[in-house]
Amino acid sequence: MFFKFLGLCAFLGAISLSTGFNVTSNLIEAPFVKIGSGYYYIENNLKKNWYAAYESCRRLKADLVTFESVEELDMVSQYILNSKTDVMYWASGTDLAEEGSHVWFSNGQPVYSDLWCPGQPDNKDGGEHCDGLWFESETIGLNDGNCGMLHCYICEATQPINCMQKHLMQ
Ligand SMILES: [Ca+2]
Ligand SMILES: [Ca+2]
């Protein structure tokens, strides 16, 4: 009887362990997709302010997206275009440290001027310090927005962590 009890405890322990593991892995294993040579997690459902979006990416061992080139911005925006649910997706650019000097918070490098939508960044009403990928009617590019606004967001990982198998196998 005692051994049966031990066995039951071990069984229940195994269940709780596996349950705990699954919960953890669900949080971490967000489906990153490979686009070009980068790895991205595109959040189309939950809208968050810039800070909360950044925190969410960090929990996935990633950052908000950093566009190193027009080509990268084009590839990611084309991928999003068919299923987009928001007019803007947060990226890691910001000028919170120095007004008018937009840098990628992920690496401290300046944001290239050719990535902006025409007329941006405009710091509208003096309150736009966080940058996002903006799907304007005709053009797609960066726009500075109010950091407190709720938007979808894009995380970028430097390594293929938890990337979907089909992309890992390419
Ligand atoms: Ca990048
Ligand atoms: Ca703006």
CATH code assigned at 111? 3.10.100.10
CA 100 to chain centre: 23
pLDDT band at 145 (very low <50, low <70, confident <90, very high): very high
Spacing, Cα 158 to ligand 1 middle (Å):
8
- Same domain for 72 and 138, yes or no, is yes
- Same domain for 60 and 5, yes or no, is no
- Same domain for 4 and 67, yes or no, is no
Structure-model confidence comparison of residues 85 and 20, the more confident one: 85
pLDDT of residue 18: 39
- Same domain for 132 and 96, yes or no, is yes
- Same domain for 124 and 91, yes or no, is yes
What is the per-residue pLDDT across 18-51, written as a single tens digit (0 to 9) for each? 343 333 343 455 689 999 999 999 999 999 999 9
- Same domain for 78 and 21, yes or no, is no
User: CB neighbours of 33 closer than 8 A, spacing ≥ 6?
Assistant: 39, 40, 41, 42, 79, 163, 164, 167
pLDDT of residue 96: 98
- Same domain for 127 and 164, yes or no, is yes
pLDDT of residue 38: 94
pLDDT band at 167 (very low <50, low <70, confident <90, very high): very low
Spacing, Cα 19 to ligand 1 middle (Å):
34
The number of distinct structural domains making up the chain is 2
Q: Which stretches of 60-119 are DSSP H helices? A: 70-81
Spacing, Cα 37 to ligand 1 middle (Å):
9
Query: Does pTM surpass 0.85?
Result: no
Domain range holding 3? Answer: 1-30
